[in-house]
Amino acid sequence: MFFGGLKAIDGVDLAVEEGSIHSVIGPNGAGKTTLFNCLSGVYLPTSGSIRFAGEDITRLSDHAVTARGIARTFQNIRLFASMSVLENVLVGTHRLGSAGVLDALRRGRDLKSEERSLEDRSRECLDFVGLLDRAGDPAGSLPYGQQRRLEIARALASDPRLLLLDEPAAGLNPQEGHALVDLIRRIRGRGVTVCLIEHHMAVVMEISDRISVLDHGIRIAEGTPHAVCKDPAVLEAYLGKGGG
């Protein structure tokens, strides 16, 4: 993936096993978020291909990728601060709706039934992340850690098969970090495959089935947490030669 003359990621070969929790780690500037932007349709790769559930999705838009069953959160929280917590999650259900423009104008029985169904789903997602009691509050009024959970609830509302989490533990205190680990495991328990970017190595080592390591846009290691943490190339990428 090139930006002008800058190569952000170079020939990254990444396979995420269905039903797993797969972490992508690496120093700042390693190309991790660029990789997620390619996977989620935000960027169009300049070469290579992306396959999901047997389908080539390389050239699909972000909306089309979401429709295929991939949802994501972002490193920087992207909520509609003045909208309610529930309304933010309802935004995530848009791909599940089938009512057209005429249905909306007529306000028919089918549309009302669909609206109730999507609201029920949104409330269930809020309950799952522990925010149902804040459903009517403005999203911007939530503490930071709860805003992170709200973003995850909104992503889950689209009924994804693959959930991409970009630094979900960023800014969380240790207690919130432990709660996040539990939440991600419960998400996997719902049958959702999880791929996350994370700098908090305690979270990564505790939760990951497999870890891929990027450095300067290249995958330098992949394996179990135990194997990756002992890999010389990984130690050098993080610590520099000689451990300095």
Residue 54 is part of a domain; what is its CATH number?
3.40.50.300
pLDDT of residue 9: 63
Q: What is the CA radius of gyration of the chain?
A: 19
pLDDT of residue 104: 44
pLDDT of residue 30: 87
pLDDT of residue 240: 64
129 occurs within a structural domain: no
54 occurs within a structural domain: yes
Mean pLDDT of 119-127: 96
135 occurs within a structural domain: no
3-state secondary structure of 185: helix
Chain mean pLDDT for the chain: 87
Structural domain including 173 reads 2-69+160-243
- Bridge partners of 196? 23, 165
pLDDT for residue 6 is more than 50: no
81 occurs within a structural domain: no
pLDDT for residue 100 is more than 50: no
94 occurs within a structural domain: no
Of the two residues 155 and 29, the one the predictor is more confident about is 155
pLDDT of residue 13: 84
Mean pLDDT of 129-133: 98
Mean pLDDT of 139-155: 96
Residue 124 near residue 93, CB atoms below 8 Å: no
Share of the chain above pLDDT 70, in %: 86
How many domains does the structure of the chain reveal?
Answer: 1
pLDDT of residue 184: 97
Model confidence pLDDT, tens digit, residues 8-51: 567 678 899 999 999 999 988 888 999 999 999 998 888 889 99
Which residue from 56, 7, 25, 28 is spatially nearest to 217, judged by alpha carbons? Answer: 7
45 occurs within a structural domain: yes
- The pTM for the full model equals 0.87
pLDDT of residue 28: 86
Q: Quote the crossing angle between the two packed helices 144-156 and 109-129, to the nearest 10°.
A: 140
220 occurs within a structural domain: yes
pLDDT for residue 226 is more than 80: yes
Mean pLDDT of 59-82: 93
pLDDT for residue 97 is more than 80: no
Residue 136 near residue 84, CB atoms below 8 Å: yes
pLDDT of residue 190: 95
